[in-house]
Amino acid sequence: MRPIIGITGRKDTSARLVHSQMYSVGETYVHAVHQAGGAPVILPPMLAETDWTALLGRLDGLLLSGGEDLHPRQYGQFPEAWLGGVDETRDTSELGLIHAALEMQKPIFAICRGIQALNVALGGTLYQDLAAQVPGALDHAFLMSRSLDQSVHPVTLEADSTLARILGGVTFAVNSAHHQSIQTPGAGLRVVGCAPDGVIEAVELADYPFCIGVQWHPEALVRSDPAMASLFAALVEAASS
């Protein structure tokens, strides 16, 4: 039986239909999970405390998708001028889900905003804007206006990391569509991959069955790079056991 993988969604106001306020998730996330053998379920970004454990009790794994910035109050900072758009309802919804998943030892795969949310849930902090706060940083937001199926910078992984084992190597070309990143890693998070400028691109939770985070978008690379598909296979495999 296919393991059920919950994928966090976002608020979407782009539609001009009767239901102009929608909850959505990029189809590449859904397809990546499905092609890896998981049964994907989209989770709305408005879940309350009573929902977190109820949902996690039925899910076999959690995929944290990309999206807007987390509000800095979640990591004890004030918003700077360069902060992007936020959705505090989603912050509450997602951070609660992460805590519930960690408590229940559910497999977690965190992508882009997801790695940032995972970090904040564990008490870490974020750079609110790399261009403004990290001198010499690459243009990590480069691809926000371009196609996500192109790789733009390398990531080098720790050779003994779970991610290096799954991906079958230590250096990978990745896409990049983020203007924030991890500043201080949260409790238990091991930094296992960085861009050439030192920006944190990959983490793993130590002493935990399966919890990995990447700052890039593997879901958009699964067709061109089989290694990226193996990340979703690893999530599904962890969720099956």
Q: Which residues bind Mn ion (CB under 5 A)?
A: 140, 176
Query: What are the strands, taking DSSP E only, across the chain?
Result: 4-8, 10-12, 22-24, 39-43, 61-64, 108-111, 125-127, 153-157, 171-174, 181-184, 189-194, 200-205, 211-214
Tokens describing residue 235: 């999530």
Q: Check if 211 is active-site.
A: no
Measured from the CB of residue 197, what is the shortest distance to Mn ion in angstroms?
9
Q: Which of 201, 204, 219, 237 is catalytic?
A: 219
Q: Which of 140, 153, 178, 217 is catalytic?
A: 217
7 or 194: CB nearest Mn ion: 194
Measured from the CB of residue 238, what is the shortest distance to Mn ion in angstroms?
25
Q: Which residues pair with 24 in a beta bridge?
A: 10
3-state secondary structure 66-132: CCCECCHHHHCCCCCCCCCCECHHHHHHHHHHHHHHHHCCCCEEEECHHHHHHHHHCCCEEECCHHH
125 or 176: CB nearest Mn ion: 176
Which residues lie closer than 8 Å to 74 by C-beta, 6 or more apart?
91, 95, 120
Provide the residue type at 10 as one letter: R
Pairing of strands 4-8, 61-64: parallel
Measured from the CB of residue 189, what is the shortest distance to Mn ion in angstroms?
17
Q: Check if 80 is active-site.
A: no
Q: Check if 112 is active-site.
A: yes
46 or 138: CB nearest Mn ion: 138
139 or 158: CB nearest Mn ion: 139
Tokens describing residue 100: 């519930």
Measured from the CB of residue 221, what is the shortest distance to Mn ion in angstroms?
13
CA atoms of 70 and 90, how far apart (whole Å): 9
106 or 140: CB nearest Mn ion: 140
Q: Which residues pair with 61 in a beta bridge?
A: 5
Measured from the CB of residue 216, what is the shortest distance to Mn ion in angstroms?
6
Query: Which residue's C-beta sits nearest to Mn ion?
Result: 176
Q: Which of 112, 140, 211, 237 is catalytic?
A: 112
Catalytic residues: 112, 217, 219
